[in-house]
Amino acid sequence: MEEDKKSASRNTKQKGEILRVIRDAKGPLSVKEIHDISKKSIQNIGIATVYRSVNHLLESGSIHEIQLPGESSRFEISHLDHHHHFHCKVCDRVFDVEICPFPMENLPKGFTLDSHEIILYGVCSECNNSSK
Ligand SMILES: [Zn+2]
Ligand SMILES: [Zn+2]
């Protein structure tokens, strides 16, 4: 029983840490990226633990899944303001972009809009700087 309690509190701590990693990120993260970052703060954390925590966080609604075409799933914190994603083709990371370039008005008469998705592709500032 003691062991169970200990491992349960460890799981809670790891889940909290993984949530922090996702919250502090500049954009949605893949499980591999979450694993790479959380390794720095959680000793010996395995990819299976990251998967498990991500699933728990998904079920509880703390995070949600972002699926970009042809990419593995990424995860970001729920309830962010409206934003878009910028996919860097050099480092393969995805960044949040706060601007929305799509005019919400000017729709044809009688149309109402629920949502839209725009994905921006290019090179991030880090990759642009390192190529100079
Ligand atoms: Zn980049
Ligand atoms: Zn938008």
How high is the pLDDT of residue 17?
Answer: 94
How far is residue 42's CA from residue 113's CA, in Å, rounded to a whole number?
43
Sign (positive or negative) of CA dihedral 96, 119, 57, 42: negative
pLDDT tens digits for range 37-48: 999 998 899 999
118 CA → ligand 1 middle, Å: 18
Query: What residues are designated binding site?
Result: 82, 88, 91, 116, 124, 127
pLDDT tens digits for range 20-78: 999 999 999 999 999 999 999 988 999 999 999 999 999 999 999 999 988 999 999 99
How far is residue 81's CA from residue 63's CA, in Å, rounded to a whole number?
14
Sign (positive or negative) of CA dihedral 31, 32, 37, 39: positive
How far is residue 124's CA from residue 89's CA, in Å, rounded to a whole number?
8
In angstroms, the Cα distances linking 69 to 29, 45, 57, 87 are 15, 29, 23, 11
Residue 1 above 60 pLDDT?
no
Percentage of the chain exceeding pLDDT 90: 64
79 CA → ligand 2 middle, Å: 15
**Could you state, in order of their start, the residue ranges of all structural domains in the chain?**
2-77, 84-130
How high is the pLDDT of residue 103?
Answer: 73
Query: What residues are designated binding site for Zn(2+)?
Result: 88, 91, 124, 127
Q: Which residues neighbour ligand 1 (ion) by CB within 5 Å? A: 88, 90-91, 124, 127
CATH class of 2-77: mainly alpha
Furthest C-alpha separation in the chain: 66
Q: Where are the beta strands (DSSP E) in 54-132?
A: 63-66, 74-77, 84-88, 94-97, 119-122
pLDDT tens digits for range 83-112: 999 999 999 999 999 988 777 677 889 988
